[in-house]
Every structure is written in structure tokens, then in C-alpha cells.
A and B are shown apart, each in its own frame.
Chain A
Amino acid sequence: MSLHIINMAQAIRDGLRDVALKDPSVLFFAEGASDPTSVFGTLKGLGNEIGHDRIIEMPISENALTGVAIGAALVGKRPVLSFHRVEFALLAMEQIVNNAAKISYISEGRDSVPIVIRLVVGRGWGQGPNHSQSLESMFAHIPGLKVVMPTYPADAKGLIIGAVEDNNPVIFIENRWCHYVEGAVSDEYDSLPLDGPKIVREGRDFTVVAASYMTLEAMMAADVLSSVGVELEVLDIRVARPFVYDKIKASVSKTGQLLTVDMGWRQYGLGAEIVSEITEHCFSSLKGPPQRLGVADHPTPSSRGLIVNYYPDALDIARSVCRSLEFSESKMQTVLALFEDARQKNPIDTPHPAFKGPF
């Protein structure tokens, strides 16, 4: 085995290639599947490696083509659909909710729908109201669906393979900014189980459960808070349905504190569900009320002037933690001042120095 430093988009592409080479029933559906950009490079060159007949160019017909993929899955195929934005899949909700999520149940398990629907969450560069929504809790609400949302490249590669191997419909949510996250990824066939949150940093003082890109903000907050003696335990949600609470419960039992950080809105968000479950089952462990962060309760505006307070970041996470720990105002200001150095020098609306737009 050898490790390579690659970004998450490349890791997903490698995972898809590996699983498609192994299993000839894997098909790829996308609008622009075979165009030069190939869904942010995540399908690039696959046709040359697995045969162009397995790359299905999608007409701009999201609902029907999702149904077509479900139909093909009924008779043995493993389609992977890729949507450039989550919002495009809203046109396909009928097929996803009524058919993909129901067919195993309604057939008493005689049929299954092994499809993966990749949905990219846009952020920054003025994406605006209809190109940057985090709607994972809409999908996670539906029994019969699985919902995966990776943060790191190695996880993304293993989870995309695990998603394709899974016999159920899997909604695979990719934050566009996570595509730029780099990390060491094995070049071997590494399938990961869709088994729920993962502890990405251990700590004794405070449990922070974050969704996808927000895990990176939580990790940044953890680095800074560690320098003043506060140790965060950070859990990356990874799989939002079926939700596995064990690690979060164990962590809160240890720390007595919980903060959730949603990638989307707080109301009815993943954090709301997690806080509710933890309050119900770990009430006696809690030293204070659980806290939730999420994006501001309005649509995503386009202008970089309007998004200044929209996304929660490491500073917001640290502020929430300091308040829960009842830091004095002066101590809190001292801690928050440390973030001036730690925060990225990047503009507010781009993920990575390499990013120059347009989407």
C-alpha cells in the first residue's frame, strides 16, 4: 500500500473508478458525464477505463433519469448519479422519496435499489439562494434512504466505495469546499462501512459534533482552544442516516457538554435531532444545555457583503464553547483574540487559494 496526498474530489474519483473496475454493474449517470469537466473532475476519464457504454449522459430530466436509474437498479445495475448541485435533485424528490426509499419495504425485500445519488453543496463565489443549500436533513428524514456526508479525502474514498457496494439508495452529499481538502489516501481498494460518526479529535472537556465542512471549522477551533487548556472532542457526522448515536453518547457522558454544528439551517437540522436524542438519553451527564450552530435562518445571499455572518466558523464555535464553560467576558475576549492569527487569510467567499470561480 502506498499513500498519496490528494484532494477529496480526486479521492471520490479514485473510489468510483476502483469500485467500477471491480463491479461491471456500476453505471454512471450525470448531466455532462462525459464533458471535459466531468462533474468537477470526479468522473474524469472513467469512460476510458471502464467503457463508455457505462457512462450514461443524462438529458436535463432529473426526475425521470433518477427513475431510470432506480429501474436499472431493480434488475441488477448499480447506478451512481451525480448532480452538480443539491437543488437539482429537488426535481427528483418524487422518485427518491416514493420509489428509491420505498421499494425494498414494499416488496418485502424482494427488490432493492442499490443507487448512489451524489449531491454537491455549493458555497461561496456568490452561489446564492438556489446553489448553496444544505438539505441533508430533508433526505435524512426519510426511512429507506441512507445519507452520507464526508469531510476528508480518505473517508470520502472509502465511503463512496461503501455507498456503491451498499444495496440501498445512498444520498452522498459533498460540500464543494471539501473537494479542495487534501489528505493522505491509500491507493488500495478501501471500502468503509456506512457506520456513523467518527471521532476525529479526542478531548476531555467538550463534545462538538459537526457536519461535513463544519468539521474543519471545529478542528480549527479545537487547535486554538487547546492552547488555553480546553480540549474539544470533535466528531465528524459522516453518516446522517441511519444515525448511530453510540459515540456521541459516550463522548457526552465523558465531557458533559455538547455543541452541534450544522452545515445547513438549525431548525429541524441534524443538530436538532442529535441534541434531542442526547437530552433524552444522557440528561444526567449534561452539565449545561446543549448548544446548536447552523447557518443564519434565511436563504443564502449571493453578495459577499451579505454572507459575512451567514456561515458559522471556528470563532463562533469557540465563542459558544466559552459561553457554555462560563468563561468571564475578559477571558473569552483573550481566547477569541487568538483566532485573529489562526483564521485563514483567504477571502470569505473562496475555499482555497486555487479557487478562482466560477463555481
Chain B
Amino acid sequence: MTALSLLYRDMLRIRSVEEKIAEEYSNQEMRCPVHLSIGQEAAAVGVCSALQTQDRVFSTHRCHAHYLARGGDLNQMIAEIYGKKTGCVGGRGGSMHLADHQVNFHASIPIIGSSIPLAVGTALSDQLDGTDAVSVTFFGDSTVEEGVFHESMNFAALRKLPVVFVCENNSYSIYTHIDERQPKSRSIEQVADAHGIWTKRLNGNDVLKVLAVTQEAVARCRRGEGPAFLVLDTFRHREHCGPGSDDHLNYRTAEEIDYWREQCPLLMAEQAMEESGNIQPDWLKKIKQEIAVEIDDSFCRAKNDSLPSAAEADEFVYA
């Protein structure tokens, strides 16, 4: 197995999980908003594959791919979306609040920018303790418009904290293009640069490139050279929130959609594997089958699991 085929398998697994969510969503048993990452898997897998067990990850409302790429438990994720007691946070958060403490996937916060300072805080604690852990915070392009983003970058740069800021730029805040929200004369990476933070911008759908650049960013952090900032250009295939497509609203051009469909992370990885002669039809069939069995099992469990009882609803308000 090559590195690329492992990355491909992880991306395919995430894609398949989310397609299954989309397929089952109309049955009205997943009764919470879902923000699918279909089309953005390379960012999640490339970044998380560069991390070690002691590292920490924070995410947003669009957290499924990050959670799974980090190694979060699939059964608990699906159960959480189904609102079941066996969910990763016991049905208290739903799709937008995934967390798995076993793998230092600390929190997903569905308020733009809200989880960024938390990652800077764990990085501060780790720096004070002299550990080599790195904190990673995922967010989208709209976060660049939030004050807390700049405040967090300033503090991380000031204290040279081991934090990697990962901006997944899919160009849209719901239906509004970045050009209507941010000046064209200034790129996202220029903002990071202005904060004195090492930054790289790349095609976020090229999983090998994402992995390589994240490895460089993480290595810098571990050497005490301060924070890093990645801009990963990517594209959301499905609607902002929900299982379907919102392209009938015509907020994105056909050219743009076609361009990015050709840049699909899975397609790009398949092409790269074909070019290097590393893809075997049998292997592909085998992993697809393994993944399908795993996913079917997860959904089956989640559907059969119990809802939490109303009597538990007031627990854990206080520690």
C-alpha cells in the first residue's frame, strides 16, 4: 500500500459516509442540520494524516470529514446525528458538535471563528508545559471576516504558539461569494502574512500536496518556530446545509461547478494512482466493499440504538 492509496481510502470512506447520510436523510430519522464535506475531503485527510497522537484538532459546523480523518469513532458519529444516547456527545450536540476525546478531537463549534481561540489556548497550555503537541484549527473562508480570527492570529504570532490555522476556502459563505465579502485586492494568505505568520496557499483537493505542506507546517510548530497558516482552495459539492444540491439557485456558474468537479479530490487521487500504476481494480473493489459493510453496520446500529431519556437532559450543566 502506498501513502496515496491510504489517503485515498480515508477520503473514499468519508465520501461514502456522507453519501449514505444524504441517502438516508429523507427518512427523517437524522433530525438535525447536516453540513456535508463532500468535495472537501482532501483538506481533512491531508492535514490530519500529518498529525501525531498528542496533537489536537478543533473544527466547525462542517466537521464530519475532520472528525473521521482524525480517527473519530464512526459508530458514535452516526449515532450522534441520529440523536441517540450512544452518540459521541450523547445526543447533546448533533452533527455540528462532533468531538472524540480518545483522539484529541476536542470540539466542533458551529459559530464562525469560535473554535479558533480554543486551539490557540491548547497551544498556549502545551507551550507552557513544554510538550511538542501541535493544535490544529479548521475553518472556512468567511472566518477571515471575523474579529476573533485576527485577535487569535495576533496572539499566536506574539507568543509563537504551536498552532496550525487551516482555512478551507470553498469561496462561499452559504450562497455569497468571497468577492462580495472580502476585497479582491487582498488575498487570504496576505492577512496571515500581515500577522507575521508563515503561510502557504495550495489546491486543497490535492491530498498529497496538503499532506506535504501540513507536515512542513507541523514541523515548524514542533521546532518552536511559531504558528502556520494554510489556505486550501476547495469546493463544496452539495448544498450549504442539507443532503441535496443547491445549484438550482444559480449562485454558482456552471463553469465553476464543472471546473471543481474535475478537481474532485477522489478523482485527482485516482488519476495520480493510475499514472503511477498503483491502482488495482481488485483493491478498489475490496476497499469499497469493506467501507460499505462498515457504514451499513454503523447506520444499522444507530437506528437501533436508544434515544437518551428526558431525565438526563439536565445533567452535566455543571462539572
Q: In the complex, what residues of A have CB within 8 A of residue B125's CB?
A: 71-72, 75-77
Whole-angstrom distance between the alpha carbons of A108 and B317 in the complex? 9
Whole-angstrom distance between the alpha carbons of A42 and B175 in the complex? 49
Check if B101 is an interface residue, CB within 8 A of chain A.
yes
Least distance between B196 CB and chain A CB atoms (Å): 13
Whole-angstrom distance between the alpha carbons of A72 and B121 in the complex? 4
Question: Contact: A168 with B148, CB < 8 Å?
Answer: no
Q: In the complex, what residues of A have CB within 8 A of residue B316's CB?
A: 104-105, 107-109
Check if A255 is an interface residue, CB within 8 A of chain B.
no
Nearest residue in A to B158 (C-beta to C-beta)? A59
Among B22-30, B88-96, B245-253, the one that faces the other chain is: B88-96
Check if A63 is an interface residue, CB within 8 A of chain B.
yes
Q: In the complex, what residues of A have CB within 8 A of residue B275's CB?
A: none
Question: Contact: B155 with A71, CB < 8 Å?
Answer: no
Q: In the complex, what residues of A have CB within 8 A of residue B147's CB?
A: 63-64
Q: In the complex, what residues of B have CB within 8 A of residue A76's CB?
A: 125
Check if B274 is an interface residue, CB within 8 A of chain A.
no
Check if A110 is an interface residue, CB within 8 A of chain B.
yes
Least distance between B121 CB and chain A CB atoms (Å): 2
As a 0/1 sequence over residues 101 to 113 of chain A, the CB contacts with chain B under 8 angstroms (1 = contact) are 0011111111111
Known: A64-B151, A114-B319, A168-B318. A94 touches B111 (CB 8 A): yes
Known: A73-B121, A77-B125. A63 touches B148 (CB 8 A): yes
Instruction: Enumerate A153-212 residues with CB–CB distance to B below 8 Å.
Output: 167-168
Q: In the complex, what residues of B have CB within 8 A of residue A27's CB?
A: 128
Question: Contact: B114 with A65, CB < 8 Å?
Answer: no
Whole-angstrom distance between the alpha carbons of A27 and B147 in the complex? 24
Question: Contact: B319 with A104, CB < 8 Å?
Answer: yes
Q: In the complex, what residues of A have CB within 8 A of residue B111's CB?
A: 94, 98
Question: Contact: B319 with A95, CB < 8 Å?
Answer: no
As a 0/1 sequence over residues 98 to 124 of chain B, the CB contacts with chain A under 8 angstroms (1 = contact) are 010100001101010010111111111
Q: In the complex, what residues of B have CB within 8 A of residue A242's CB?
A: 318
Nearest residue in A to B119 (C-beta to C-beta)? A71
Check if A289 is an interface residue, CB within 8 A of chain B.
no
**Number of chain B interface residues as a range:** 35 or more
Question: Contact: A75 with B154, CB < 8 Å?
Answer: no
Nearest residue in B to A101 (C-beta to C-beta)? B317
Known: A99-B114, A106-B93, A107-B99. A67 touches B121 (CB 8 A): yes
Q: In the complex, what residues of B have CB within 8 A of residue A168's CB?
A: 318-319
Query: What total of chain A residues lie within 8 Å of the partner, measured CB to CB?
Result: 43
Instruction: Enumerate B267-319 residues with CB–CB distance to A below 8 Å.
Output: 315-319
Check if B13 is an interface residue, CB within 8 A of chain A.
no
Q: In the complex, what residues of B have CB within 8 A of residue A111's CB?
A: 101, 106-107
Whole-angstrom distance between the alpha carbons of A67 and B114 in the complex? 8
Nearest residue in A to B154 (C-beta to C-beta)? A59
Whole-angstrom distance between the alpha carbons of A243 and B116 in the complex? 33
Q: In the complex, what residues of A have CB within 8 A of residue B116's CB?
A: 64, 67
Check if A138 is an interface residue, CB within 8 A of chain B.
no
Check if A333 is an interface residue, CB within 8 A of chain B.
no
Q: In the complex, what residues of B have CB within 8 A of residue A99's CB?
A: 107, 109, 114, 118
Least distance between B241 CB and chain A CB atoms (Å): 19
Check if A61 is an interface residue, CB within 8 A of chain B.
yes
Question: Contact: A59 with B99, CB < 8 Å?
Answer: no
Q: In the complex, what residues of B have CB within 8 A of residue A135's CB?
A: none
Question: Contact: A64 with B155, CB < 8 Å?
Answer: yes
Question: Contact: A68 with B155, CB < 8 Å?
Answer: yes
**Which of B97, B128, B154, B319 is in CB contact (< 8 Å) with A109?**
B319
As a 0/1 sequence over residues 124 to 145 of chain B, the CB contacts with chain A under 8 angstroms (1 = contact) are 1110100000010000000000
**21 A-B pairs (CB sep. < 8 Å):** A59-B154, A59-B158, A61-B151, A63-B117, A64-B116, A67-B114, A67-B118, A67-B148, A70-B121, A71-B119, A76-B125, A98-B111, A99-B114, A99-B118, A106-B93, A107-B99, A107-B107, A107-B316, A110-B101, A112-B319, A168-B319
- A-B pairs, top 4 by smallest CB distance, nearest first, are A71-B121, A67-B117, A64-B151, A61-B151
Besides A54-B128, A71-B123, A108-B315, 11 more A-B contacts (Cβ < 8 Å) are A63-B151, A67-B117, A68-B120, A71-B122, A72-B124, A73-B121, A74-B118, A94-B148, A107-B107, A114-B319, A146-B318
Task: List residues of chain B with CB under 8 Å of any chain A CB.
Answer: 56, 89-90, 92-93, 97, 99, 101, 106-107, 109, 111, 114, 116-126, 128, 135, 147-148, 151-152, 154-155, 158, 315-319
